[in-house]
């Protein structure tokens, strides 16, 4: 009898652990994200596909194309080549003509899985991934470890919630626990170079000079990429558990932490962290917020998405002190991008474009529904 009870306890513990293991290892973010490339705004949604808009006239944005693909969370673009994740694979599109993007290459099953809970299932009950990474009508060229270097133009710009980022001739992507490195010297044929294990539940990536700042639910990680294919961890700043984007200005990092169903029961805070000594980041100040999401910094102004409380704009001239200037209410902002005097805000299913000629007095120019 005692043996039976012990066995039952062990079975129950094993079941609980397996459930926890599955939950921790699934990426369940279904939020839309935005990315800017030249005069184009790219909006992604893992369950709705990719939308492309022309914002050459920010007051009158126009729809260029809708790509009916699912499983895409992030994009990055350089040299008219767009890299996307599609389920757990990397897909490459030629976007020389955004109205007719052409799939030209793929690296299948390169990432840890993100959304297996919504992926199509085969008749055997396993994930049917066969049609989620193939190159369609393209014929991928053989991959060389000595790709021909091409002259790179300026890459695009993502928000603070991005998981893809381009630094020089390399594409850095984060999945659930690792940093995946691709050479894009030949931008149409990315070559897998390395996988660096970082820690579970990493979520965002931001670059500054030859540094990567990676946000995770348990802390911020700092890596140098002086040797681009071999990122080296310099330090980690640990904080209470919560979803965690990060942006950096000079020698200061701004990190938001929020709670929620998938983020844990942590605090809702903005942490201002000194990173002058990259090997020893130091907490400088902490501010409480309602439910902070993405953020962006431009010169001495910080733009912070605070859930139902709206978009908040601060003067941060002295880095460690917030001086509130403006609150844009009646929106629930998720992330922001600043480019050429325009503030792009994704809020619910809308993208709002504001002129910030006066940084603390945004003027709404247009709304993309």
Q: What is the pLDDT of residues 51-103, one digit of tens each?
A: 999 999 999 999 999 998 889 999 999 999 999 999 899 999 999 999 999 99
Q: What token pair was written down for 284?
A: 């400088």
Residue 260 pLDDT: 63
361 three-state secondary structure: coil
The answer to whether residue 318 is domain-embedded is: no
Give the pTM: 0.84
Return averaged pLDDT per consecutive 10 residues of the chain, 369 residues in all. Answer: 47 40 42 94 92 98 94 95 95 97 96 53 36 38 44 81 96 94 98 93 92 92 97 90 82 88 70 96 95 92 96 94 95 96 93 97 96
Q: How far apart are CA 23 and CA 334, in angstroms?
A: 23
Residue 153 pLDDT: 61
DSSP state of 117: T
Q: How far apart are CA 69 and CA 220, in angstroms?
A: 32
Residues near 123 by beta carbon (within 8 Å), at least 6 away in sequence? none
The answer to whether residue 31 is domain-embedded is: yes
Among 302, 248, 242, 246, CA closest to 268 = 242
The answer to whether residue 92 is domain-embedded is: yes
The answer to whether residue 75 is domain-embedded is: yes
The answer to whether residue 20 is domain-embedded is: no
The answer to whether residue 316 is domain-embedded is: no
Q: State how far Cα 24 lies from the chain centre.
A: 18
Q: How far apart are CA 304 and CA 297, in angstroms?
A: 9
The answer to whether residue 124 is domain-embedded is: yes
DSSP state of 25: H
- For 53, the domain range is 27-197
The answer to whether residue 254 is domain-embedded is: no
DSSP state of 3: H
**Edge-to-edge strands of the sheet including 157-158?**
62-67, 49-54, 40-45, 33-37, 157-158
Q: How far apart are CA 54 and CA 30, in angstroms?
A: 24
Domain count along the chain: 1
Q: What is the pLDDT of residues 240-258, one digit of tens each?
A: 665 679 999 989 999 999 8
């Amino acid at each position: 009898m005692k043996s039976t009870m012990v066995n039952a306890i062990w079975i129950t513990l094993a079941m609980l652990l397996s459930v926890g293991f599955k939950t921790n290892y699934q990426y369940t973010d279904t939020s839309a994200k935005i990315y800017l490339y030249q005069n184009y705004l790219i909006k992604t949604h893992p369950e709705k596909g990719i939308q492309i808009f022309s914002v050459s006239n920010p007051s009158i944005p126009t729809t260029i194309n809708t790509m009916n693909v699912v499983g895409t969370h992030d994009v990055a673009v350089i040299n008219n080549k767009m890299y996307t994740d599609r389920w757990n694979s990397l897909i490459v599109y030629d976007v020389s003509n955004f109205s007719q993007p052409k799939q030209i290459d793929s690296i299948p099953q390169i990432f840890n899985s993100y959304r297996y809970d919504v992926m199509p299932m085969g008749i055997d009950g396993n994930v049917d991934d066969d049609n989620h990474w193939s190159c369609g009508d393209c014929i991928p060229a053989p991959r060389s470890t000595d790709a021909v270097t091409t002259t790179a133009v300026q890459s695009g710009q993502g928000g603070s919630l991005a998981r893809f980022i381009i630094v020089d001739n390399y594409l850095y992507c984060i999945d659930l626990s690792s940093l995946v490195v691709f050479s894009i010297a030949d931008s149409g044929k990315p070559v897998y170079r390395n996988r660096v294990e970082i820690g579970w539940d990493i979520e965002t990536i931001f670059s500054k000079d030859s540094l990567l700042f990676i946000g995770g639910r348990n802390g911020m990680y700092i890596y140098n990429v002086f040797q681009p294919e071999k990122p080296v961890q310099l330090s980690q700043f640990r904080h209470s558990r919560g979803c965690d984007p990060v942006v950096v200005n000079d020698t200061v990092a701004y990190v938001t932490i929020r709670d929620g169903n998938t983020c844990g029961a942590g605090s809702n805070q903005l942490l201002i962290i000194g990173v002058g000594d990259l090997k020893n980041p130091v907490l400088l100040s902490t501010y409480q917020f309602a439910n902070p999401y993405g953020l962006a910094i431009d010169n001495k102004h910080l733009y912070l998405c605070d859930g139902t409380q709206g978009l908040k704009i601060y003067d941060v001239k002295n880095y460690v002190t917030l001086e509130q200037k403006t609150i844009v209410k009646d929106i629930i902002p998720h992330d922001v991008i600043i480019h050429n005097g325009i503030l792009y805000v994704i809020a619910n299913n809308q993208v709002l474009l504001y002129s910030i000629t006066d940084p603390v007095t945004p003027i709404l120019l247009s709304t993309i529904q």
